[in-house]
Chain A
Amino acid sequence: MISQFYILSPRGDVIIRKDYLGDVPRTSSETFFRNAKFWKEGDGEAPPVFNVDGVTYLHIKEGGVQLVATTRANLSPSFVLEFLRRICTIVKDYCGFLSEDAIRKNVVLVYELLDEVVDYGFPQNTATEALKQFVVNEPTVVAPAYYQAKPLFSLSKGPTGVFKSVLETTRTDGKRRDEIFVDVVERITCTFNASGYIASAQVDGAVQIKSYLAGNPPIKIKLNDDLLIGKRDAPYGVSDSSSNGHMVVLDDCNFHEVANLDSFDVDRTISLVPPDGEFALMNYRTSHGFKPPFRLQASVERDPNSDVKANLTLRLWCEVPSDKAASGLEVEVPTPRYVQRVHCDLESSSAGGGAGGG
């Protein structure tokens, strides 16, 4: 099982440390930080699972901190990684936000949670809901100093903008607010070829729920009727895209265990008793029948005035309806190694932004 668990700050300081089995030396956090920071093979990142001197290190990064588990056993790595991910969610649910600052301000609460969630390296009940009855500490909710919208290319899926501890739902002082947030978060991966046409496109989406409802009333969520789920409704493949042009086709999806799907196949209704805190009700992916919110066209020309210069023109169309705005947009242009200097011009009509280094 898990021998140790710790949370490291971006500088490698230990913020939280738990030692369960006592078979890995205390200095392992330094070993980990050194190896993860200067990964030996090339300049890539350290893989999430690696072994140094017989100790296996498993780690994820979230909110600027690293969560690390060590073990000497041959256990299931996805088990540990999923568990680390789950700890992130619990910390977020109880402290409102996950960051170095938030953890430092809630050290005792985090320890208390960890004691309930892991015993001797075995994960226990990790449902935010179930943990409430064991927790006696009060959270210190830290709203982040400044909240920056997650860049589009951020890999983490999750609802944004709510920083509230689930413990507030048990308050009886009248300040309590019963709220539930349902977000549909989609991660779109598109490749445009040189002429601006889509070469490949995929959507990984999730219906994320953050619930602060006291008493956990049952709720129903209805999805649109014209939803067709490939592997579920047509296990032998969707015939062709033209015949279901008006349908929303998902390739595959899965549901959280609280979801009751009894009538899902009939009228696309999911009934559930939402547990407290954040969870993904449904994950899905699709690869056809959608329009990306942006289109991109790139062209490279030699500069007629110079032998050593080239002009890269990027044309970005935003297809988001005009009453909505896309914020936090970043464009990253990787350049070959031999590029020495980059100069960036934005046409006057576009909003601000800075040139990145090359």
Chain B
Amino acid sequence: MSDGKYFSTTKRGEIHELKEELRSLDRPKKKDAVKKVIAAMTVGKDVSMLFPDVVNCMQTDDLELKKLVYLYLINYAKTQPDLAIMAVNTFVKDSQDPNPLIRALAVRTMGCIRVDKITEYLCDPLQRCLKDDDPYVRKTAAVCVAKLYDINPELVEDRGFLDMLREMLSDANPMVVANALAALQEIQELASSGGKDLLQMTTQTLNKLLAALNECTEWGQVFILDSLAAYDTRDPRDAEKIAERVLPRLQHVNSAVVLSAVKVILRCMDVVALGPGGGEDTIRAWCKKMAPPLVTLLASEPEVQYVALRNINLIVQRRPAILANEVKVFFCKYNDPLYVKMEKLEIMIRLASDKNIDQVLLELKEYAQEVDVDFVRKSVRAIGRCAVALEKATERCINVLLELIQTKVSYVVQEAIIVIKDIFRRYPNQYESIIATLCDNLDSLDEPEAKSSMVWIIGEYAERIDNADELLEAFLETFPEETSMVQLQLLTATVKLFLKKPTESAQKMISAVLSCATTETDNPDLRDRAYIYWRLLSTDPEAAKDVVLAEKPVIADDSSTLDPSLLEQLVSRHLATVAAVYHRPPETFVSRQRLAVTRAEELGSRKFDEEDGTVPGAMVSDNNMAAAAGAAAAAVASSVGDLLDLSDATPAPPPAPAAAAGLGAAVPPQQPPAARGLDDLLGGLDIGGGAPAASSSVPAAAPAAAVGSSDPFASFGSGSASGAAGVAAAGAAGAAAGGLSAAALSQLPVLLSNPGGVSVQGRLVRQGGQVVYQLALRNDTAAPVDGLMIQTNRNSFGLSPASQVLVLSTPGGGSAVPPSSLVPVRVPLLVDAGKVTPPPLSTALQVALRTNQVGVLYFNDSVPLSALTEENGTMEAADFLAAWKALPPETSARLPLAVPSAESAKQRLAAANLFVLAHRQVPATGQDAIYATCRISAGGVGQVLLELKFVAGAGGVDVSVKAERQDVAQLVFDGLPAVLLGSA
């Protein structure tokens, strides 16, 4: 009998017919009917109206029929919660069935029905099944705890199911251990906002897991390995023990087991490296054992290969030694899918060394002659990257590139010219002899990037190319039609040519280009750059020479190198996970708070300030990206404006003083450092698009590509300092005007650092009975930033800005932060009882700052104790004694502080509104004992009583805290060091 026939009925009245059949007393007929219903369900037909009839079939001892009904139930229980209750009795009964299969089936199905009403009935059967004699039932029940937690976490905690899960980690059956572990991991992830360690890994559990490792199914092994990788040990012996047990897993056929084992071993390596002697021999031995399994992964299916290659890419960056001799296995096979080939190329470049470069080049040359255009281009680029990375091999790489140029295949030639430009920037004045060959291939250039690269080469080496003027002239014929990338390069190259060879034809060309670029174009970048050159040339040609022909910094190949901290994070925490495939931290794509789709509307309406958890990572990254792009665009536009204002020598409008301050010293050309400053500004302009975008760690960012297109060097991320010196000077000037002294401003702690964007410094202080946020905004973009609004997330003290709109202390009282300046802002905060989060207390404060230009910026701060304690928070000594007796037992801790004298301590406490009520010396121990009190009404903390005992001048202060709320103690312990050391 085949199930295919169930799909074939599409007659009308079908539902009615099914209903009849479901009520039939004939069992095979009934079964057939249920099968038909399920078939209809699968293809997406709505058969929910049959719910009561199907549920009626549930009471049966036919296992097959029961399974079918359960399958249906899982699908429709959500939409029919009231009817689903009907099924509960059968579930409870089934969970006590003598047949373990039926017991497990009942528990499994109950958990899948995500209906709140059912959960309370679920608890008792679940409790029973967690203790069942049959391992099959136990392992099913373990998973069910995770299901229940997703629906009702409180219930799981109240019923002690988490403890039961932890106990199951020592179950005799490995399958049960694996499932209990997986369930705990899943719950941990769901509850991650709480930050509790549910697993509570001890040496004992560790040993149990290691023991279960060999017995488990392959999937269970991955769960165990992942929890071993998460286990934080500092003990090299522990690490060695773990690694020894894990090493045999490298031989496993399942690639997931292998990769997770690699992850554990890499983590153990880091720990062993901390041990005596750096564990060099151990590490070397482990590295040796890791290479063959990693290579074997490349023989698996392409999908698995792809994942392995993305991981290997990270491993090779972190520990190049492991695969240093294996470059051959990464050579592309003819029939590899494109996505595998691209990854292999990446790794080949990374593994290329002086030893194997000949082999690698031979391969790359082969690839460059294949038919797939994308692959060919990437291969040519790879040759260029090898040249930039390996100085000794550059000549050989160039020879290969020249050979490829001889093929005259248009896209090969163009790609080769692009990389040769990079090679010239890496090794200036070494390989110019090949320019002639390049010049023979001008006709085949039709892509903007290749064209602009060639134009750059001509401009840069104009003095060595005899007919440079003719070549440029040929390009200039089509000037108005070119893309802006080519136009910009043509403009600069013409200026270079003119400065190097001021012949008559060059003069003619430059005036033609300048007039075209200033009058006939709509592109502000081009027009403004043309104006700069024009003014530079007409004011002081010598200065122009210093600026335009300045020596450029040598580039390095970092086009696909990850930020070291990101790499570290990916390798040690996220290897063998999706994050390692995307090369992005998980926060950027994992939404921590997992919500059922049924709750999606709720999700949509949630606002930032209502959310309990942290700000979703993806949101932040998008904003940063937008900020970078916006800032870059603004930089190009307005730094040019400022320059023009300056040379016009007109009185500068408000935003100008900043730039003027930076430039005031920079103009006279006879001062070399100053000339550099100007060059930097131009550099910022030149590379403006590329620098900020390239520095963002998220690869393949669309904005980066869009902005970077104006810059031929974007692919090599030739980060320029963007005139940092000028900005700093300007910032100080702006700050001085704002009231707060520049020194005080610069001492504010940095809350958000955004080089090239908007940075925030600030501190919470108490002024006039109010908590005040002293902020300083640094605008490193080149455009004014306005529309500033501030908001805080819910916090323990309900701190919230009195007014969301920021009033700036700029000289003119304007509402914008001028470019390249630091502007102080004073934000009074109020206590809003509606924004108080439930206990425990936390000093964390999340703040969002909205701007019109760079989007929303988020930063985190912590609330210092001294900002919270109230001025009138003292009390009578007698009351203190009474309260000390009445309050619950104190919480004590020893803080590692050195207090110079009791007097200074008293002064500092008083300054922070911690009122000293008594001070006595304990002769026996030579200690000083100080009793103090303070009141914090924000967040409902109330009166706090303190006892401090210390020996003046020695390290260590014993602090005891008494308060109505127990969680206050930690707040005091965290806040006291700042108070006693006087940094507050």
Contact = CB atoms under 8 A, between A and B. Distances in A.
A156 B590 CA distance: 33
Nearest to B337: A45
B581 A200 contact: no
A168 interface: no
A26 B260 CA distance: 31
B262 to A, nearest CB: 11
Interface stretch (B291-299, B455-463, B789-797): B291-299
B431 interface: no
Contacts of B481: none
B780 interface: no
B590 A73 contact: yes
B102 to A, nearest CB: 11
A59 B143 CA distance: 25
A321 interface: no
A76 B596 contact: no
Contact of A337 (B7, B35, B373, B594): B373
Given A74-B586, A285-B296, A155 B596 contact: no
A95 to B, nearest CB: 11
B299 A283 contact: yes
B590 A255 contact: no
Classify chain B's interface size.
35 or more
B960 interface: no
B222 A79 contact: yes
Nearest to A83: B219
Nearest to A49: B581
A37 to B, nearest CB: 15
Interface string B370-392: 11011000000000000000000
B491 interface: no
Nearest to A107: B3
Nearest to B66: A136
B114 A22 contact: yes
Contacts of A25: 597, 600
A215 interface: no
Classify chain A's interface size.
35 or more
Contact of A75 (B112, B253, B308, B578): B578
Interface stretch (A119-127, A172-180, A312-320, A340-348): A119-127
Interface string B686-697: 000000000000
B35 A72 contact: no
Interface in B188-202: 189
B360 to A, nearest CB: 13
Contact of B219 (A77, A124, A191, A334): A124
Contacts of B529: none
A200 B335 contact: no
Nearest to B259: A78
Nearest to B596: A22
A120 B111 contact: yes
Nearest to A157: B301
Contact of B335 (A48, A85, A155): A155
Interface in A151-168: 153, 155-156
Contacts of B576: 76, 78-79
Contacts of B373: 337
Contacts of B598: 22
Interface string B328-351: 000101110111001000000000
A153 B334 CA distance: 10
A24 B597 contact: yes
Contact of A23 (B6, B296, B595): B595
Interface stretch (A11-19, A216-224, A241-249, A262-270): A11-19
Contact of A335 (B182, B293, B371): B371
B590 A82 contact: no
B589 interface: yes
A208 interface: no
Contacts of A111: 38, 71
Nearest to B582: A51
A74 B186 CA distance: 11
Contact of A107 (B39, B114, B252, B259): B39
A329 interface: no
B449 interface: no
Interface in B222-237: 222, 226
B767 interface: no
19 contacts: A22-B114, A23-B594, A25-B597, A44-B338, A45-B338, A74-B586, A76-B259, A77-B307, A78-B255, A78-B307, A78-B308, A81-B256, A106-B3, A109-B3, A111-B38, A120-B111, A124-B139, A254-B293, A254-B296
Given A22-B598, A111-B38, A137-B64, 15 more contacts: A1-B182, A22-B596, A44-B342, A49-B582, A51-B582, A74-B574, A74-B578, A79-B256, A104-B4, A120-B146, A122-B182, A123-B219, A124-B217, A202-B333, A254-B293
Interface of A: 1, 13-17, 21-26, 42-49, 51, 54, 56, 59-60, 71-79, 81-83, 85, 101, 104-109, 111-112, 115, 119-120, 122-127, 134, 136-138, 140, 142, 153, 155-156, 189, 191, 200, 202, 204, 231, 235, 251-252, 254-257, 280, 283, 285, 334-337
- Which 4 A-B pairs rank lowest in CB-CB distance, beginning with the nearest? A44-B338, A48-B303, A79-B256, A123-B219
Interface of B: 1-4, 6-7, 35, 38-39, 42-44, 63-64, 67-68, 71, 101, 108, 111-112, 114, 139-140, 143-144, 146-147, 150, 175, 179, 182-183, 186, 189, 217-219, 222, 226, 251-256, 259-260, 288, 292-293, 295-296, 299, 301-304, 306-308, 331, 333-335, 337-339, 342, 370-371, 373-374, 574, 576-579, 581-582, 586, 589-591, 594-598, 600, 618
